[in-house]
Structure 1
Amino acid sequence: MTAPAPDVDLGGRSPWSILPPLCLGFFMIMVDTTIVNIAVPTLQAAFDASLVTVGWVNSAYLLTFAVLLLVTGRMGDRFGPRPVFVAGLVVFTVASLACGLAGSVGVLIAARAVQGIGGALMTPQTMAMITRVFPAQKRGAALGIWGSVAGVATITGPVLGGVLVESVGWEWIFYVNIPVGGVALWLALTRLPALPTHARTFDVPGVVLSVVGMSLLVFGLQEGAAYDWGTIVGPITVPLVIGAGAVVSGVFLIWQRHRGEDALLPLRLFVHRNFALANLAGAAVSFAMTGIFFPFTLYLQQVLGLSPLHAALVGLPGSLISGVVAPFAGRLSDRVAGKWVVFTGFVVLAVSIGVLATQVQPDVAVWRLVVPMLGFGVGTGLVFSPLGNLATTGLDQRNAGAGAGAFNTNRQIGGVIGSAVVVAALTSRLATTMPAAAQDAARSLPDAVREPFVEGFRQSAAAGLGAAGGGLDLPADVPPDVVDQVRAAAQSAVEAGFAAAAAQTLAVTVAVLLVGAVCAFAMRGGRPGHEVPGPSKQTAPTVGVAGPPAG
């Protein structure tokens, strides 16, 4: 056992005693980024909601989580990590109860947004605690365990969700947080130390600009397909909303430059090469982690006909492998340059999802999907542990908190954009693949029903409906054998069209992961145990702050 940092009083306890509450709290946060995906078809049926509307159940959580991380990091500096973490844990647990009790999809989306606020309050404090309590020579091992928990949680979300949805109902994907949150709260109150605080000013205009800018961007991306990328209401169009979001975000960056050291996002941090590249890489992996599960779980259930539980079990072996690989990757990054561990992880992820996309077909054997998911688990395990440490190692102590907040904000923004882009991409591809599949399936139908059959698919796909073809009305005098023939053709078209759209959507995440690999390759190598010099002089001791790059 090694002694903690001089300004931390643990009452004679080991630094490792703080990990259980931090890991439990972070486990809940990361599980809830993916647990909803497995329940999407169930939620659509329960609330009679569209695919895009149910997509907001996840996006609302990711959005509030992402846009508040900068200010909640500053709150931890001002009031102390322990009370802010406890407050976030309470908010998250109570919001989970509200999610389970929601009687409409609107209430569920609102409760999920509050859940995101709780997650944002907790996340920066977990990083601050580990960084300030653990000595530098032991911090990598602690972050390896933490990265393992986060990696397992992200991939375990669909598995746990499938078990709960199939056995006790969708409400329990939220109720399960209540006992876990209660245990984490007791551990937090009894084991987390009170750390010194630092006076900080809150950049209120910066908070407003960042929230407005991101909200406009995500709304435009998420809802664009529903409005055919045209008019929303009156003179307001989807391109106008996205453009306004880009402009407001630009104003936010200008304001941050004006604020200097008091900014929510000190822009001078990005002159550090590894910090800037790790932020982009973190956004890329979060994009992929969020984006892959949405089309893939829908494909497993709507095309292959798997139950929520069986669909979730497809990812279970990968989840277990991720948990084994992450601690190993943390230790490995102490022996070789961390950039090569992260680069290898990105390459493995890209190849695995690329192979998965080729196997997404209407009649594929399930084991052929499990194999690339094993590679997915290896890749996430390699990326999670070292990337956060690469992001902020070498930043001076005064900027460690701001650096961690910026890294996690960009990481979560990647998840938000990933969710929005993937939903939009899937919806857009369905509008093309469904009519094409219907055209192929209609060749075996009688002439009298062939054109109405294809037109029904075309109209339904344009409306963004998952069960395209449902709008086909057959005349009453159609013989029963023809009705059966039409139904069989419709089922074939739905399966072929959705599988093609899902595969093409997965290809988007492959391209983003390759960007992450390029970022890792371009980082400065540096020998393990040595600081990577930045372009400016450091006037305070350097400190590494890390956070697992999952969405």
Structure 2
Amino acid sequence: MSSSPPVRTGWTLLLASIGAFVTSLDVVVVSTALPTLRADLHASLPGLEWTINAYNLAFASLMLTGAALGDRFGRRRMYVVGLGVFAAGSAACALSTSVGTLIAARIFQGAGAAVVLPLTLALISDAFPVEKRGAAIGIWGGITGLGVAAGPIVGGAITEGVSWQWIFWINVPVGIVALVLSRLLLRESHGPRPQLDLAGLFLGAFALLALTWAPARAPSVGWGSSEVVGAALIGVVAMVAFLMWERRAPYPMLPLGYFRRRAFSTANAVVFFQQVSLIGSLFMIAQLFQTGLGYGPLSAGLRILVWTAMPMLVAPIAGALADRVGNRPFMLFGLLLQGAGLIWLAAVTEEGVGYGSLVFPLIVAGTGTAMCFPTVANAVVGAVPIEDSGVAAGTNNALREVGGVFGVAILAAVFSANGDYTSPAHFISGFKAAEVVAAAVALAGTVAAVLAPAKQKAPAAREELVLR
């Protein structure tokens, strides 16, 4: 008889949401601290990019690994381990005395997050019946959105009121408390694979690392450099090898048959395009309010809140309604609103522009983002058998983080080609060009959203979906 505690849906949702909150918070928490980091650590633009990209790089490349470890060794057990690694990485970030050590610590922190985040959805999917899962994931999406919303303002408030190091120190007690409560209160569950797909773990992590390394390095060494082109080619070759192996592996970590389901494949495409646009825009907008418009870190964080708080308000509603009308309308209109809001923002931004002119474009873009957050997650998890919810969440979150890395790299490159930091006017010139590209990427994602099924069917048995 299992010694695991019984299902406690309320505690499961709370503790899983804490993990989603802190890992999402740290994707963006340094955004309003970037000018301070540039001054205190004498960081260059590439160094600033890496304080974000190092976390996202580890996050993206190890996401499938984190999900697979949870399936094999226990989702509760690995969730606890992931929280411990994340808290330790946060402490290392706080103790950093140079941009190089901060980047290294962010990699360690991202590795812990890569275990935590996919398991949050797996834990929720295991605890909630299918008819209540959309609403639960909507709440999860809202709290994840709160992490995004709180990131700039928390980073700005702490940077201005205390010091940038406390951006990371705050994670340590939260991580420890969540770790202890998760160990005591969550039910243990496993995936269907009796052994780890070690070759798949290595090939998948290596492929994602190379594919994210290329755009992360491109702003520094050039998109046509041998390093970037070589990394991209290596990543493609490794990904092909990974897919070929997964077709013949006795216990594949990623059953390729899932990509034959439109709900699974289209939702993963949607999240990639959305995150390219969203995280790239966040990198630029956080700097706009300080470098371009002259606000302090806290003032910048407060003004960005009208954009980043929308998921907290809209995502729970979208998640609950998606159970009735399907995920496609929310994904489609979400991307349309995100793209329209960013185009509007680019159009009205100019030197000396008043904040009132920026509020409504930010609200429109944020509402669109909020509509996508829970419905993409619901579509992906709902497309696979319940025992593979961790794999589905890991795949989706890996693509999300890869998209974030591409977003920062692409928008930084567009900014550098059209502007610089020498004056507010030059900065705004580069910012406007970058946001037009961000809007175009979001609108391109609507193609995938249109192709999504109107209503999802119950997933077939796992054995029917695995391609060999």
Q: TM-score, normalised by structure 2?
A: 0.93
1:520–1:106 distance in 2 versus 1, CA, 3 Å: same
Tell me which of 223, 228, 241 is aligned to 1:251: 241
Deviation at 1:138, TM superposition (A): 1.7
> Take 2:29 and 2:217, find their aligned partners in 1: how far apart are those partners?
22
Matches within 5 A, 1:46-445: 46-196=40-190, 198-229=192-223, 236-259=226-249, 262-397=251-386, 399-430=388-419
1:240–1:144 distance in 2 versus 1, CA, 3 Å: closer
> Take 1:91 and 1:24, find their aligned partners in 2: how far apart are those partners?
15
| Contact in 2 for aligned 1:349/1:375 (Cα 8 Å) | yes
Which residue in the other structure is 2:424 paired with?
A: 495
Which residue in the other structure is 2:449 paired with?
A: 520
Which residue in the other structure is 1:532 paired with?
A: 457
| Contact in 1 for aligned 2:126/2:386 (Cα 8 Å) | no
Deviation at 1:306, TM superposition (A): 0.8
Secondary structure of 1:335 counterpart: helix
1:400–1:225 distance in 2 versus 1, CA, 3 Å: closer
Deviation at 1:322, TM superposition (A): 2.6
**RMSD of Structure 2 on Structure 1 (CA):** 2.4
Deviation at 1:243, TM superposition (A): 3.0
1:540–1:249 distance in 2 versus 1, CA, 3 Å: closer
1:541–1:505 distance in 2 versus 1, CA, 3 Å: same
> Take 1:255 and 1:279, find their aligned partners in 2: how far apart are those partners?
21
Residue segments in structure 2 that go unaligned for 5+ positions in a row: none
Letter matched to residue 388 of structure 1? A
1:200–1:515 distance in 2 versus 1, CA, 3 Å: farther
> Take 1:197 and 1:250, find their aligned partners in 2: how far apart are those partners?
25
> Take 2:375 and 2:220, find their aligned partners in 1: how far apart are those partners?
39
Task: Point out the more displaced range, 155-164 or 221-230.
Answer: 221-230
| Contact in 2 for aligned 1:229/1:238 (Cα 8 Å) | yes
Letter matched to residue 453 of structure 2? R
Residue segments in structure 1 that go unaligned for 5+ positions in a row: 1-6, 435-465, 468-493, 543-551
Write the deviation string for residues 57-86 of structure 1: whole angstroms up to 9, x where unpaired: 111111111111112211111111111001
1:407–1:377 distance in 2 versus 1, CA, 3 Å: same
Which residue in the other structure is 2:27 paired with?
A: 33
Secondary structure of 1:154 counterpart: helix
> Take 2:416 and 2:194, find their aligned partners in 1: how far apart are those partners?
44
Deviation at 1:228, TM superposition (A): 4.3
> Take 2:464 and 2:228, find their aligned partners in 1: how far apart are those partners?
48
> Take 1:515 and 1:403, find their aligned partners in 2: how far apart are those partners?
23
Q: Identical aligned pairs, as a percentage?
A: 33
CA radius of gyration, larger in: 1
Which residue in the other structure is 1:458 paired with?
A: none
Letter matched to residue 500 of structure 1? S
1:228–1:129 distance in 2 versus 1, CA, 3 Å: closer
Write the deviation string for residues 267-321 of structure 1: whole angstroms up to 9, x where unpaired: 2211111211111001112222211111112121112111111111112123333
| Contact in 2 for aligned 1:61/1:115 (Cα 8 Å) | yes
| Contact in 1 for aligned 2:218/2:228 (Cα 8 Å) | yes
> Take 1:258 and 1:136, find their aligned partners in 2: how far apart are those partners?
31
Deviation at 1:229, TM superposition (A): 4.4
Secondary structure of 1:202 counterpart: coil
| Contact in 2 for aligned 1:85/1:125 (Cα 8 Å) | yes
1:208–1:30 distance in 2 versus 1, CA, 3 Å: same
Secondary structure of 2:445 counterpart: helix
| Contact in 1 for aligned 2:268/2:376 (Cα 8 Å) | no
> Take 1:119 and 1:287, find their aligned partners in 2: how far apart are those partners?
19
1:354–1:195 distance in 2 versus 1, CA, 3 Å: same
Deviation at 1:128, TM superposition (A): 1.5
1:129–1:400 distance in 2 versus 1, CA, 3 Å: closer
1:194–1:400 distance in 2 versus 1, CA, 3 Å: closer
Q: TM-score, normalised by structure 1?
A: 0.79
Paired residues in the alignment total 465
Which residue in the other structure is 1:478 paired with?
A: none
| Contact in 2 for aligned 1:281/1:515 (Cα 8 Å) | no
1:214–1:194 distance in 2 versus 1, CA, 3 Å: closer
